[in-house]
Amino acid sequence: MQSENEKDLIKFVPFNSCINPSFWFELNKVKLDDYMLNDDFKDLKGFCSTCSSNNLPPILNFDYSSFKKNVDKTKIGHENVIIVEGQIKIFNTINEFNLLDKNKLIDEFGQTIWNDIKSTKALDDPNRLNRFCLIVFANLKNYVFHYWFAFPALTFPLKSYYQLRKTKFLDYFSMEQSELILENMDRFQLNFKSHQSFFAINFETLDVFSVREGVNLHNCGKKVLFGLYDPNSQSNHPGWPLRNYLALLALKCKKTEYETRNFEIVLFRDRYHGGERKSNLSLIIEVEIFNISENEEKINTIGWERNEKSQLHPRIVNMSGSMNTEKLAESAVSLNLKLMKWRIAPDINLEIIRNQRCLLLGSGTLGCNVARCLMAWGVEHITFVDNSKVSYSNPVRQSLFVFQDSIGGESKENHKSIKAAENLKLIYPGVDANGIVLSIPMPGHYVGENIRSKVKNDVKQLEKLIKEHDCIFLLMDTRESRWLPTVISASEKKLVINSALGFDSYLVMRHGVKTGDIEKDKLPTNFHPDQKISSNHLGCYFCNDIVAPGNSTIDRTLDQQCTVSRPGLSMIASALAVELFANVMQHPLRQYVPSICSNHKLDDTKESCLGIVPHQIRGYLHSFSMILPASQAFDKCTACSIEILETYKREGFDFLIKVFNDPNYLEDVTGLKELKAALDEAEFDLVSGLSDSDDS
Ligand SMILES: [Zn+2]
């Protein structure tokens, strides 16, 4: 049995770390987004309180706000929350974590505290005596964390602290005195931005002072009680913070002729119970402390926290179970992308890609693959538009469908756009995918009176969809179905990424985007092939078919070719379409980025952090080759010329229906006599519908 008044070695009750799951999620985030490969020590905050229940050791709490730079104590909810400043080091490999010299590390922290004590830093800000350090290895892929806390405390070999006497605060002081002390204490705390852990009481006046003033009073011969907010509520022993506090007092308080001195220490355990303030756990202990000098040769630092088995080993926590699976998927998806920022592309802006609302016109092979690739880039908002249904032959080539989707044929709701959106969400529930069943009206597809209002609604819906999205992907299988979205997107100044397939050749291009200022958008007459072409002078799909660049034997227009493609072609073209989109997004001018010409040396060109932003990518599987032509807009283009856009703006649906019913009408508008021949070649009546062929 421990006697209350014998001379006992003081047992300091060590801190216990208590980590809220939000701490680990925040750690995951800051490591990925902010610290990245940097494994320097960073500031971290822990919170402790004197308000715990009876018989609990000191607990240092950590949550998401531990990483915040400024934590306002008034926001923490209770006045008695003490903010403990510490540092965290997050290792990049488990090996470094394991091989770290733990004794050396804690000695360094101890040395800092000792230096603070020797200088005036600890007297000026005694909260510095309370410190901690945390080392972590975070396995960000599966949310497993190896970690170890240290609460550094100074020890002086062969010199010990003894506890002589212990008195309850409420026995030591009368009721009136203790009430006065509480009042003075509250007034004292008001002087500080953050809650003070340490204080001093003038025994005569019961005024509460800072430790510095207490030491001065003491050294002038006044009786002073030194106090601390004791986070420990186990009645017999003081909490861990007293240890460094005694070292400060031993050094800074005037020495006597004796080897040791006695101090009265207030273990202030102010707490609220049932809405009432209680001091019944507070104690006053008399301690015997030895003299120490600034030249102490041997100082040890202790304080590594023991693990659950009371061993001096790190702890391991696995947080994967406490996250819901969708949340897990969400952070796992962004993990691979964020890792790009660590070394490969530190300047990449993933947010801007993620926030693009993408409209995919066509949900066939191109639509499916583009969607998957966009999702891999983290794009969260994807809308599919198509009017056809999943057929038996689709799933093997169209990567978002399975056999089950094609069963039921015409009788069931198995529209491609709806199925594609559903299945995309099966792959990743965090994606906001929607499917719209819509036929896109086309030039040369006659609109009779009986369907006029339906077609008008379809146009309206398409206009609305294009307005609501940031990037429009043209992924249909016919040339003429691209005309209307090209006109509307050009009018809305949206980025258009167009992808089209031949049998073994593909085209991926971005359309030029006009500024809307007719003077600026007028095509320059003195175009030089070595200059970049500004975006408002770049051509669209329809410009380029008329002025196809390069070798005419390999640059055949796609619609002259068979719509059956080599199976790998769609994956290549879809991937390139999305990667082109990504490069556009990384350029500060976005859709207004000019294009280099084929004459430019590509090696010299650093346009975005991901590389160049070409106008067109044309590839040929028979020779496994790729070219990057750029071409100016055609001033008589049937889709993007100023005349067409102005007429569309002025006349709206009345203009469009004339085009649907007679594509030759475009000739009148643009004044392009040769158009008829060009459009005849297109053989508009070959296939109708968006992507009713199996392979687009
Ligand atoms: Zn054009």
Q: Does the structure show a pLDDT above 90 at 192? A: no
CB 405 within 8 A of CB 364: no
Better pLDDT: 647 or 601: 647
First to last CA, the chain: 86
Chain mean pLDDT for the chain:
86
Residue 457's nearest CA partner among 445, 441, 480 is 441
Better pLDDT: 257 or 690: 257
Range with the lowest mean pLDDT among 109-118, 265-274, 662-671?
Answer: 662-671
Pair of tokens at residue 242: 């007293």
How much distance in Å is there from the Cα of 614 to the middle of ligand 1?
17
pLDDT at residue 159, rounded to an integer: 82
Neighbours of 207 (CB within 10 A): 17
pLDDT at residue 679, rounded to an integer: 54
pLDDT at residue 416, rounded to an integer: 94
How much distance in Å is there from the Cα of 633 to the middle of ligand 1?
6
Give me the mean pLDDT over the 19-41 stretch. 89
Split at pLDDT 50, 70, 90, the class of 599 is: low
How far is residue 49's CA from residue 267's CA, in Å, rounded to a whole number? 13
Range with the lowest mean pLDDT among 52-66, 247-261, 598-612, 624-638?
Answer: 598-612
Q: Does the structure show a pLDDT above 90 at 150? A: yes
Active-site hit among 220, 358, 540, 562: 562
How much distance in Å is there from the Cα of 542 to the middle of ligand 1?
5
Give me the mean pLDDT over the 270-274 stretch. 73
Q: Does the structure show a pLDDT above 50 at 693? A: no
pLDDT at residue 685, rounded to an integer: 40
- 562 given a catalytic annotation: yes
Split at pLDDT 50, 70, 90, the class of 55 is: confident
Q: Where are the alpha helices (DSSP H) in 220-292?
A: 242-252
How much distance in Å is there from the Cα of 636 to the middle of ligand 1?
8
Split at pLDDT 50, 70, 90, the class of 684 is: very low
How much distance in Å is there from the Cα of 509 to the middle of ligand 1?
12
pLDDT at residue 691, rounded to an integer: 40
pLDDT at residue 72, rounded to an integer: 62
Give me the mean pLDDT over the 527-547 stretch. 78
Give me the mean pLDDT over the 161-179 stretch. 90
How much distance in Å is there from the Cα of 602 to the middle of ligand 1?
26
CB 507 within 8 A of CB 539: no
What Rg value do the Cα atoms of the chain yield, rounded? 37
pLDDT at residue 51, rounded to an integer: 64
How much distance in Å is there from the Cα of 594 to the middle of ligand 1?
16
How much distance in Å is there from the Cα of 639 to the middle of ligand 1?
5
How much distance in Å is there from the Cα of 512 to the middle of ligand 1?
8
pLDDT, tens digit, 9 for 90 and up, residues 211-220: 999 999 999 9
Query: How big is the chain, counted in residues?
Result: 696
Q: Do the bridges between strand 224-229 and strand 198-202 make them parallel or antiparallel, or are there none, so unpaired?
A: antiparallel
pLDDT, tens digit, 9 for 90 and up, residues 393-424: 889 999 999 998 888 655 557 899 999 999 99
pLDDT at residue 517, rounded to an integer: 87
Q: Which residues surround ligand 1, an ion (CB under 5 A)?
A: 540, 542-543, 637, 639-640
pLDDT, tens digit, 9 for 90 and up, residues 240-255: 999 999 999 999 998 8
CB 583 within 8 A of CB 608: yes
Q: Where are the alpha helices (DSSP H) in 220-324?
A: 242-252
pLDDT at residue 681, rounded to an integer: 57
Residue 656's nearest CA partner among 459, 518, 462 is 459
Burial class (CB in 10 A: 0-12, 13-18, 19+), 654: exposed
Residue 249's nearest CA partner among 202, 195, 200, 203 is 200
Q: Does the structure show a pLDDT above 90 at 343? A: no
How much distance in Å is there from the Cα of 637 to the middle of ligand 1?
5
Task: Please give the domain boundaries of the chain with CATH numbers for all domains.
Answer: 8-153+306-325 (3.40.140.70), 162-301 (3.40.140.100), 330-682 (3.40.50.720)
Cβ neighbours of residue 646 closer than 8 Å, sequence gap 6 or more: none
Positive or negative, the CA dihedral 467, 472, 477, 481 is positive
pLDDT at residue 556, rounded to an integer: 47
Q: What percent of the chain has pLDDT over 70?
A: 88
pLDDT, tens digit, 9 for 90 and up, residues 561-577: 435 789 999 999 999 99
pLDDT at residue 548, rounded to an integer: 30
Output the CA–CA distances (angstroms, integers) from residue 498 to 96, 193, 338, 620, 685, in the order listed: 49, 59, 28, 17, 22
How far is residue 471's CA from residue 511's CA, in Å, rounded to a whole number? 11
pLDDT at residue 2, rounded to an integer: 41
How much distance in Å is there from the Cα of 384 to the middle of ligand 1?
24
How much distance in Å is there from the Cα of 587 to the middle of ligand 1?
23
How much distance in Å is there from the Cα of 298 to the middle of ligand 1?
82
How far is residue 455's CA from residue 657's CA, in Å, rounded to a whole number? 9
Split at pLDDT 50, 70, 90, the class of 25 is: confident
In whole angstroms, what separates CA 252 from the centre of its chain?
48
Better pLDDT: 648 or 664: 648
Split at pLDDT 50, 70, 90, the class of 673 is: low
Q: Does the structure show a pLDDT above 90 at 598? A: no
pLDDT at residue 695, rounded to an integer: 44
How far is residue 438's CA from residue 387's CA, in Å, rounded to a whole number? 5
Range with the lowest mean pLDDT among 346-355, 382-391, 519-528, 543-552?
Answer: 543-552
